[in-house]
Amino acid sequence: MEKIVSLCKRRGFIFQSSEIYGGLNGLWDYGPLGVELKRNLKNYWWRVTVHERDNVVGMDGSILTAPAVLKASGHVEGFSDPMIDCRSCKARLRADQIINKKGEKQCPVCGGKDLTEPRAFNLMFKTRVGPVDPRWSGTAIFPVSLQGATGPAGPSQPTQPSTMTAGTTIVPASGPVVSAADETAIAYLRPETAQSIFVQFKNILDVSRKKLPFGIAQIGKAFRNEINPRNFTFRSREFEQMELEYFCRAEEGMQWLDYWKNERLKFYENIGIPRTKLHARKVPDEERAFYSKGTYDIEYDFPFGCQELEGVAYRTDYDLSQHQKASGKSLEYFDEETKQRFVPHVVEPSAGVDRTVLALICEAYSEDEAPDEKGKMETRVVLRFHPRVAPIKCAVFPLLKNKEPLVAKAKEIVDLLRPHMFVFYDESGAIGRRYRRQDEIGTPFGVTVDFETLGEKDAALRDTVTLRDRDSMKQERVKISDLLELLSVRIA
């Protein structure tokens, strides 16, 4: 993992959040290449999940979530992990991280045995919505005085000492100021994207005119105050999910559970993760959520162990029934053929974007031996991304940057390809060094404009280029007129 983490920073895939200030634990920023890899993954998921199906539609719900939604879903009371403190080294740990040696529990950090009893730690981030008067909520931490400051509304008035409140305050255009202790001012950063789908089920059903079975898909950020984020981006406090809620009749639930488990395995194979490194673990009864009739964890063999990429769960009618009961609004489906009303059941494939990106990088990373420009063998670092998710699809090189006809022709090719794919132009350094740079960031194809392209050595080769394959390093001559079609097929 050390080599992978180093490469991610060196080549601009992933950086520690707020790094210049010492970093913020459990939070990560995606650089120029990382954001392209992530976007390609999400776009492909959306394509195969929504655009290629007649019975799936999309939505994008808000991140801030009303407490009533999460109370009905059970998150306010039950969305927690058991936490244990080590009194020796002061580490705070999830209970499942504690080492058990010969019947004695030990801290995995220091080996100490002086541990607290497990206690529930709620993983949700709470915040305040609207103008909150901090004077009603606690002790002032610092005074704020803007007396004499002038803005669009005129001179300001002196204020009383202020109090820091947890989270974020969002000020609406108008409305009364409320106490920070007022429950109506509370909101949560959503711990999952699913709940906004459930509460909008009826609206989407009405406008989309879909019949069962049908799905609602969403890609978006979620937040969990993890006790101990670890394994690079695998377990983070802010992360992105790709979720589908697939609504069906009760008698079809188990059938659709198996269907989506198989579909999701195919998805991972289609983005370059081999089936031999994927495992569909059937979650035993004692580990499943109480409302689930069946769950599969799709796991991948990471360098740090076999870990979950995605859960595929048959959630029955629990969520819709809970929201129907709590809101007093009908979330039933009317079957026009049988003239019956009922609450649909749902199967949920829920994938982690960040975990999948990490799996793609881990799977792609490889080292081999290749000759340098002088024929000496050296270690070549390659990211063997599947072309459909690779951040850059094609790099274009003029053989020499001081030969204007070569540069001009190379830039013509860039202009030809750029409307259809992400293309990188590079004229700096020896051609072999440029190949190595692109290999290390996973660019599957390289196009070199040389003197044959200009027809200087053989008129029959005029307007052809060298197309290099990243993995095999083999090169072929291709007509410029055929280049776009050929590349489009290979990166599809």
- Higher per-residue pLDDT: 87 or 176: 87
pLDDT of 437: 96
Question: H/E element holding 64?
Answer: strand 64-65
- Higher per-residue pLDDT: 117 or 49: 49
pLDDT of 185: 81
Confidence bin at 182 (pLDDT 50/70/90)? low
Residues 6+ apart with CB under 8 A from 179: 132, 133, 136, 137, 185
Neighbours of 340 (CB within 10 A): 10
Q: Which of 300, 358, 308, 389 is nearest to 5 (CA)?
A: 358
Q: Which of 426, 418, 436, 427 is nearest to 488 (CA)?
A: 418
Residue 283 has pLDDT above 70, yes or no: yes
Q: Are 70 and 192 in contact (CB under 8 A)?
A: no
pLDDT of 206: 95
pLDDT of 475: 96
Confidence bin at 226 (pLDDT 50/70/90)? confident
pLDDT of 135: 56
User: Which CATH number applies to 392-491?
Assistant: 3.40.50.800
Confidence bin at 173 (pLDDT 50/70/90)? very low
Q: Are 224 and 124 in contact (CB under 8 A)?
A: yes
Q: Which of 486, 441, 469, 5 is nearest to 232 (CA)?
A: 5
Q: How far is CA 225 from CA 79, 117, 209, 229, 418, in A?
A: 11, 20, 38, 9, 41
Q: Give mean pLDDT, residues 374-394.
A: 93
What backbone phi and psi angles, to 5 degrees, belong to 120? -70, 135
Residue 43: both structure tokens together: 């776009």
Q: Give mean pLDDT, residues 387-393.
A: 98
pLDDT of 159: 37
pLDDT of 427: 95
Q: Are 249 and 289 in contact (CB under 8 A)?
A: no
**Residue reference for tokens 């089920």:** 201
- Higher per-residue pLDDT: 279 or 139: 279
Which residues is 295 bridged to in the sheet? 313
User: Which range among 106-115, 158-167, 224-233 shows the weakest confidence by mean pLDDT?
Assistant: 158-167
- Higher per-residue pLDDT: 78 or 314: 314
What pLDDT digit, counting tens, does each position of 87-130 carry?
A: 888 888 878 778 777 778 888 888 888 888 888 877 788 888 87
Q: Give mean pLDDT, residues 410-438.
A: 96
Residue 80 has pLDDT above 60, yes or no: yes
pLDDT of 376: 82
In angstroms, the CA 431 to CA 372 distance is 11
pLDDT of 302: 96
**Residue reference for tokens 């390809």:** 417
- Exposure string over 414-442, b if 16+ CB within 10 A, otherwise e: eeebeeebbbbebbeeebeebbbebbbbb
Quick one: what percent of the chain has pLDDT higher than 70?
89
Confidence bin at 43 (pLDDT 50/70/90)? very high
Quick one: what percent of the chain has pLDDT higher than 90?
68
* Beta strands 125-129 and 169-170, pairing class: parallel
> 51 exposed, middle or buried (CB, 10 Å; 0-12, 13-18, 19+)?
exposed
Q: What is the DSSP letter of 374?
A: T
pLDDT of 143: 39
Helices (H), 209-279: 253-270
In angstroms, the CA 310 to CA 246 distance is 15
Residue 313 has pLDDT above 50, yes or no: yes
pLDDT of 216: 98
Residue 1: both structure tokens together: 């993992």
Residues 6+ apart with CB under 8 A from 50: 56, 57, 58, 217
Residue 332 has pLDDT above 90, yes or no: yes
Residues 6+ apart with CB under 8 A from 123: 79, 80, 81, 191, 224, 225, 226
pLDDT of 482: 97
Q: Are 247 and 212 in contact (CB under 8 A)?
A: yes
What backbone phi and psi angles, to 5 degrees, belong to 477? -85, 130
Q: pTM for this structure? A: 0.85
Q: Are 180 and 127 in contact (CB under 8 A)?
A: no
pLDDT of 194: 95
Confidence bin at 148 (pLDDT 50/70/90)? very low
In angstroms, the CA 358 to CA 353 distance is 9
Residue 356: both structure tokens together: 């999948």
How far is residue 335 CA from its own chain's centroid? 36
Residue 409 has pLDDT above 50, yes or no: yes
Longest dimension (CA), the chain: 84
Helices (H), 271-390: 318-327, 353-364
Q: Domain extents for the chain?
A: 31-78+192-361, 392-491
Q: Give mean pLDDT, residues 6-31.
A: 93
Confidence bin at 163 (pLDDT 50/70/90)? very low
Is 3.30.930.10 the CATH classification of the domain at 31-78+192-361?
A: yes
